Amino acid sequence: MFDNVIDFLLLAQAGPELVSADGLSEVVEQTAGQLTEITGSTAKANLGYLVAAVLFILGIKGMTHPRTAVRGNQLGAIGMLLAVFVVLVSGQVVSWPVAILGMIVGGAGGVWLSRVVQMTQMPQLVALFNGFGGIASVLVAAAEVLRTSNHGAAGLAAGLTGLIGSVTFSGSLIAAGKLQELPQFKKPWNFGGQQIANAGLVVLSVYLAFEMTDGSGWEFFPLVLLSLALGVFLVTPIGGADMPVVIALLNSYSGLAAAAAGFVINNNVLIIAGSLVGASGLILTNIMCKAMNRSIANVLFGKMEAGGVIADADEVYAGKVKSTSADEVAMMLDGVQRVVIVPGYGLAVAQAQHAVRELANLLEANGVTVEYGIHPVAGRMPGHMNVLLAEADVPYDQLKEMDVINPTFAQCDVAIVIGANDVVNPVADTDPSSPIAGMPILNVSEAQTVVVIKRSLSPGFAGIPNPLFAADNCLMLFGDGKQVLVDLVAALKEN
Amino acid sequence: MDIITALTIFVLAVFIGFEIITKVPPTLHTPLMSGSNAISGITLVGALLCGGGFWGGLFGFLAIIFATLNVVGGFLVTHRMLAMFKKKG
């Protein structure tokens, strides 16, 4: 009966690049036709949602390799289009002018935002989108609460949608503001007893959500206000270095809010898509926490403890730091076999991605193998540094993750560290009392020579000196990242 | 649909999510995030079904705007990023 659906899904499973939008719409049309004959329109809509959900899963599956990722993203978009199409033809749309006007306004805004954003601003944009998804789920639950009386589980689900969605919305706006470095957020906001206030807000919100099981619904609106405040209080004290965790977590929440909204309006596709995103965000949160060796509770509620005695910078560096010049480094790079570049966010701040790529091109032209060692928290969100380098035409097969590159540093002639500090600080391994103790680092010091390009010896986010800079095989190349790279490229060309 | 059916779907979908997403390489974590973020704009389906009275209509209208922003912006910006990922040569 549904041979065509099965064939289609098998084909898509074999390779997302094999299916086309035309093929999909044909399958949907045929299947819908078959189904209407036997069941009627509700089953037809649900079948459409099912296909959409499968497309979301295949779409995310496509993301497992850069080669299939573009197609994967398109499958996801087709799934979304299908889900919307199913609603529009279901005859349940309350007001056509409202629906069309809303989609035009939102669509235009989405197109505009996606075009104007710079790659360095991607974390802010994703935070903003997370927030929009969250508030949309809250509004859907609000409309449903007003429309009808939701008893039992549906009432609780409405309450949880309000709670999670509102925290996502206000928390994401604050996170976006911080990442955009708006002057209002320069200093973390704090007030005494903030954690007690937060705990109180959580308890009160959850209580109200459970109260909603009686179907009265009035609790929804105070619950939303409390949760909005909670989102603000939760994110304001969190510092810049922890933003990758916060964005990943809010990403997860935006999915969970959508899933909760699915429970309210009894819709499978919301539940499935929402829980996929919820899982995705949780995994990324976990990866980011591991990359900093901190628990999620520590990120959200704790500060980076200044535990132990922080080594005195003068003591660490005095007389041991060797400074070098672009010419010297250029000479050193002559005749080497393998160079690993370790970029940090300082590279993006200096807008030096293209200069790095130029250096790498030049080295490769001389027969040098060039790779990049990327720490998971090198950027401001998971995978951010990879996008920034991809934008500068760095091929993705040269971007190596930490676990892959670390065992190979011993076979590396020169490691060039640009704008990174804490992620290459050996103290993480050697001093259990340090604030970054246990954080996995890139073992650049195992390379024959390490060249660190940095403005000064100033500490990174963790606020501690870095003994790497004083190591025997380490040379400091002081200056603005971009300028230094330009000088280095010029010096290499002269040789 | 009763609550247990809905919960079953939810839990199974979470497991599927864990299974496939752990296989996504770190290189693609940002596009994964923006792309999955666009998928969470699925709330749009719920938003289109909203209505009833002035407030219900207004909430629905705002929900449609926010969700469409999320969906359209998310998929487009993901596409923009992924198009930059090129293999050597």
DSSP sequence for A143-208: HHHHHS---HHHHHHHHHHHHHHHHHHHHHHHHHHHHTT-GGGSS----TTHHHHHHHHHHHHHHH
Per-residue pLDDT of chain A (495 residues; tens, 9 = 90+): 566 666 766 776 666 666 666 776 777 677 666 655 555 567 778 889 999 999 999 999 999 999 999 999 999 999 999 999 999 988 788 788 899 999 999 999 999 999 999 999 999 999 999 999 999 999 999 999 988 888 788 899 999 999 999 999 999 999 999 988 888 777 666 777 788 888 899 999 999 999 888 888 889 999 999 999 999 999 988 877 788 899 999 999 999 999 999 999 989 999 999 999 999 999 999 999 998 888 888 887 765 444 455 667 777 888 888 999 999 999 999 889 999 999 998 898 888 999 999 999 999 999 999 999 999 988 889 999 999 999 999 999 999 999 999 999 999 999 999 989 889 999 888 888 888 888 899 999 999 999 999 988 888 877 888 999 999 999 999 999 899 999 999 999 887
Enter the pTM of the model.
Answer: 0.88
Active-site option among A422, A429, A480, A487: A422
Q: How would you list the strands of the sheet with A399-401, edge to edge? A: A399-401, A369-374, A338-343, A414-418, A449-454, A474-478
Query: Helices B3-21 and A268-292 meet at what angle, rounded to 10?
Result: 40
Q: How many Cβ pairs within 8 Å bridge chains A and B?
A: 382
Transcribe A308-357 into DSSP letters.
SPPPPHHHHHTTT--B--HHHHHHHHTT-SEEEEEE-HHHHHTT-HHHHH
Which residues from B are below 8 Å from A93, CB to CB?
A: 48-49
Distance CA A86, CA A38 (A): 18
Q: Do B70 and A133 touch (CB under 8 A)?
A: yes
Q: Which residues pair with A353 in a beta bridge?
A: none
Residue with tokens 């939303």: A224
Q: Which amino acid is at A53?
A: A
Residue with tokens 């041979």: A3
Distance CA A3, CA A115 (A): 41
- Which residue in the set A69, A147, A279 is minimally distant from B56, CB to CB? A147
Chain B contact present for A304, CB below 8 A: no
Residue ranges of domains in chain A, CATH in brackets: 3-300 (no CATH), 313-494 (3.40.50.1220)
* Residue B47: other Cβ atoms inside 10 A: 33
Mutant choice from B36, B54, B61, B79 vs A, greatest count of A C-beta within 10 A: B36
Chain A contact present for B4, CB below 8 A: no
Chain B contact present for A149, CB below 8 A: no
Which residues from B are below 8 Å from A114, CB to CB?
A: 72-74, 76-77, 80
Residue with tokens 């509004």: A139
Distance CA A185, CA A137 (A): 27
A422 carries an active-site annotation: yes
Residues 13-52 of B with CB under 8 A from A: 13-18, 20-52
Residue A360, C-beta contacts closer than 8 angstroms, at least 6 positions apart: A339, A341, A370, A394, A398
Q: Do B60 and A94 touch (CB under 8 A)?
A: yes
Q: What angle do CA A440, A442, A447 make, to 5 degrees?
A: 145
ipTM of the complex: 0.96
Cβ–Cβ under 8 Å, residues A270 and A86: no
For the purposes of burial, counting CB atoms within 10 Å of the CB of B87, is it exposed (0-12), middle (13-18) or buried (19 or more)? exposed
Q: What angle do CA A55, A57, A62 make, to 5 degrees?
A: 90
Mutant choice from A17, A92, A139, A375 vs B, greatest count of B C-beta within 10 A: A139
Chain B contact present for A248, CB below 8 A: yes
* Residue A260: other Cβ atoms inside 10 A: 30
Which residues from B are below 8 Å from A84, CB to CB?
A: 44-45, 48
For the purposes of burial, counting CB atoms within 10 Å of the CB of A410, is it exposed (0-12), middle (13-18) or buried (19 or more)? exposed
Distance CA A158, CA A176 (A): 26
Chain B contact present for A48, CB below 8 A: no
Chain B contact present for A364, CB below 8 A: no
Q: Do A72 and B88 touch (CB under 8 A)?
A: no
Mutant choice from A96, A151, A272, A400 vs B, greatest count of B C-beta within 10 A: A272
Q: Give B50 to chain A, closest Cα distance, Å.
A: 6
For the purposes of burial, counting CB atoms within 10 Å of the CB of B60, is it exposed (0-12), middle (13-18) or buried (19 or more)? buried
Q: Give A50 to chain B, closest Cα distance, Å.
A: 11
Q: Give B62 to chain A, closest Cα distance, Å.
A: 7
